[in-house]
Structures are given as structure tokens and as C-alpha cells.
Structure 1
């Protein structure tokens, strides 16, 4: 599977078909059992970190720090501290900044993860079931953010059980059979469970 800049891709399929594993392999968290994953012609382990922004099922909030401390920490790691304030403003987080992460509801935890996404500059976003625990208002903010990222050259790969609400997205269905594109090209992507693309 080759993805070009300005791509939005939804991976869909039943539980256990490998959607999360694929995202984790692309993020460099999990090694492929076969094949290679290249980003800008380099294997993931050769790329200077961080090269992507991955949000999985476990958001990774540190319970005893404040939201502001959490977002500042990550924006410094990604060398994009200038994006912190716009991210806080976009997701309307000013009233929560001094709260400890453990006090947040599941919906607010997801908003913090989305603010981190915006505050940490990378061209590649990997989003696993990102729409879970979001109300409609925050889903709209997310969709606008994803569309803007793609329009500015980003690559966004999402897993979801829901039908995509972003019209320009390409959809790949997964089961025990290879990924199949239901986008404009109607092509089959050569792959199989346990392999990387």
C-alpha cells in the first residue's frame, strides 16, 4: 500500500482483523512479521523520532500531571511549542488546563489527545478508533482538523467501525482476505494478515 501526501485513509473491518496492528507497525511500536514499512523511503527504525503522531486505545495520559503539563511536554518533544496555544484554543480547553489528568471524563481525555495531535507537528497521523467517546461537536472539530491536515500535505490513517464522514477519504475494508479499496480506484491492495505494507 502506498500513500501519498494529502491522503485520508480509513481502515475498516471486524475486531481482530489487524487494523490496530497495522497502525502500530507503521508507528514503529510493533515489528512486522514479514515485509517492510517505509516512510519517505526509510525503514521506520532508521527515521529520526518522532516521525508520526499515534493515538491508540490507551491515550497515554499521565494521571498525576496537569493537562497543561502534559501538552507542554509533548509539544516540546515534537519541537512545536508554538502550536500549543492554538490547540488549547481550538478544543476549548482553557478551563481544564490545571486539572489533573486522572480527573477527566473519557470524552475530555479524548479531547486532550486531539489537542496533543494538533500541538505536535508531524506529517503522519495514525488514529485508532479516534471517534470513540467524542460528542458530535468534537467529532466535527476532529473532521475539520483532519481535512485541514490533509489539505496541507499530511497523511492520516484512521481505524473506525463507523462509516466515514469525510467525503474525500479512501476506505480499505479488511477481513481475513486482503485489504480492498472502496475508493475511486476500486483496487485490491496486496497484503495479508501479519504482513506489513
Structure 2
């Protein structure tokens, strides 16, 4: 009798990742870092990524339990990507010791899409590297029943570390940090996906 366990398709299926670009500010640096991260993700066969860019999102800041047809249409564009994700990476700068308002607005317009899913963070900023924004986001996602992974990737004085082609000038350290973060995210993404298939989350 062959004791080798066949591969579990649910286990081996890539983690479907939603990469959220959190700033829509003119002249933002986020797309440079997003492209850098996506290039690392493409080197892996255990992650498939879709991008949700707050610059492309047109949601009002006034939340409504009876949204207009325009808002409903906008939610229909974003919602399936968020709902279909097994995990998220939130890419955020730090504005005034916290994260951008468009990112909070995107988060607040959704609820079940975040539940029982892991969230990782990539941040950038000045001396703090955006880490204060990340600490605030951890509290927000805890309220939404999401699980935040421990390791982050942060870029201190980010603009000085990338050349005009968007390449990091000294890639070894951020590449290692990204690998550790993504490894944790894949573990959590697969584990929670499998758990919810057996027992739906009812928190």
C-alpha cells in the first residue's frame, strides 16, 4: 500500500492576493514600490496577485446603508476582487503619523471581505518608514476580524533607495524582508482558506 498522501488541491492552489495601493496623492511614490513588490511576487508560484489602487476608486467619504446606483456600481468593481482574495498586502505611506484617508475609506466601505483573512503591510515614509501607519492599520484590521502577519517591509526615505527605473539600489535586504513576509502570508492564507472550507468563520 502506498502511504504517500496525494497532493491536496486546496493546499497547493496559489494564494489569491489582493495588493492594495493605499495612497492616491498626486506625485505618490506607491506605484514604484508596488511594481517592485509585484516583480518579487511574479517569481513565486504560490501567489497570484490582483491590484486594487485607491487612485482608481471612486467611493464617497460619507458611508451609506443605502448607497446610490453610482456607488453600488463602484462597489461591484472592487468587491469581487476583495472577496475573492485569500490574503492582502496593504501598501501604505505615512501621512501625519498615520495612514491615508482614501485607504481608510476603502476599508470602511467593506466588511465581510476582510474577515478571517491575513493582511501583510509594506510601508514607506521618512525616518519612520511608515511604521506608525502600520501600527494603526493593525488595530483597524483586528476590528474587522482579519489576522495581521508579524513581518513587514518598510522603506525609510524611500525615494533615495530607488533609481529612475524603479530598481532598488541595494536589493538584498528588502528582497529578504519581502520573502519572509510573503512566506508568512502564504502560510496564513492557505491555512485560513482550508479552515474556512471545513468550518465557516462565525466570529
Q: Which has the higher helix share?
A: 2
TM-score, normalised to structure 2, is 0.35
TM-score, normalised to structure 1, is 0.35
Q: Which has the higher contact order (CA 8 A, sep 6+)?
A: 1
